[in-house]
Amino acid sequence: MGYTLVTGATGVLGKAFCRRLVLTDDLFLTGRSEERLKDLKTELLSLRADAKIVVFPADLTDFTEREELFKFADEQGLKFSGAFLVAGVDTQMAFEKYTHEKIVFQTRVNFESTVAITHGVLARREKDLKILAVASVCGNQPMPYFALYSATKSAVINFFSALRHEVKDAKITTLIPSSIPTREDVKKDIEKQGWTGKAAAKSPEYIVEKALKALEKNKAKITPGFFNKTVCVLQKITPGFIKNTIIINKFKNKEKDAFN
């Protein structure tokens, strides 16, 4: 059996996936911090001492570092039986306030690097391959004041929905979660939303279990939580001007940028 690659492995959701996957899979973990990757490896080995765990720090927005990651895999003779594409950036602000660097960074993390890593994994795949791509409910529609994030997550949904029809012998699922209480700023935002925030929010562990079950069944998409599924249905039947008005009122005075 090959390795399961996890991007964004040291983030809250990435760690939750790793803690579950290490019980059954050998792991190839990547993230930007070598120290955090080593700490995560130590933690995971405490859960399963005989697990094979490879860590490779890389900024996946950098073409050269992506090439180095796969060059390392080739030199070690590693093949991949899975890819969990968790890395993402949820910067939120009026588009005119973006710098060019932030435009490039968010686009590359959320979409370009996700697609490029997938391409590299497919070229080094084992016979049985599973791919889980993390998108967002924000990708289900255009979102003023969250425009770039929603656009990149929509691209993720569309790409992997199409890829399923090209790579029919692999299991490919797109995870489309709503709020996940990860960073402190996210937790505070969920709390400010009142009962709707609490109804939408699901723990990383809950998200992981629902995602893995959907992937095992080779479902095209999974949106965890009854409330979130209901919201997605209502989004489809609600006129655009009403949706945009709600979104604008909710986000126009909020800014979030955890990646300064």
Q: How confident is the model at residue 258 (pLDDT cuts 50, 70, 90)?
A: low
pLDDT for position 237: 80
3-state helix, strand, coil in the chain (%, to 5): 55, 15, 30
Res 234 pLDDT > 60: yes
More confident residue, 165 or 256: 165
Q: Which residue has the higher pLDDT, 118 or 187?
A: 118
Instruction: State the Cα–Cα distance between residues 44 and 31, nearest whole angstrom.
Output: 15
> Is the per-residue pLDDT at 241 higher than 80?
no
Structure tokens at 71: 């060059």
Least confident of 90-104, 126-140, 177-191, 206-220: 177-191
Question: How does residue 20 score in pLDDT terms, banded at 50, 70 and 90?
Answer: very high
Q: State residue 187's pLDDT score.
A: 74
**pLDDT tens column, 111-145:** 999 999 999 999 999 999 999 999 999 999 898 98
185-193's contacts with Cβ under 8 Å and 24+ in sequence apart are: 185/256, 185/258, 189/254, 189/256
Q: What are the chain's domains?
A: 3-251 (3.40.50.720)
Q: What is the pLDDT of residue 160?
A: 98
The encoded tokens of residue 56 equal 């490779």
Side chain identity at residue 61, one-letter code:
T
What pLDDT, on the 0 to 100 scale, is given for residue 190? Answer: 66
pLDDT at 128: 92
Residue 226: C-alpha distances to residues 155, 172, 202, 238 (Å): 24, 22, 11, 18
Query: Residue 195 pLDDT more than 80?
Result: no
Give pLDDT, residue 253: 72
pLDDT at 243: 73
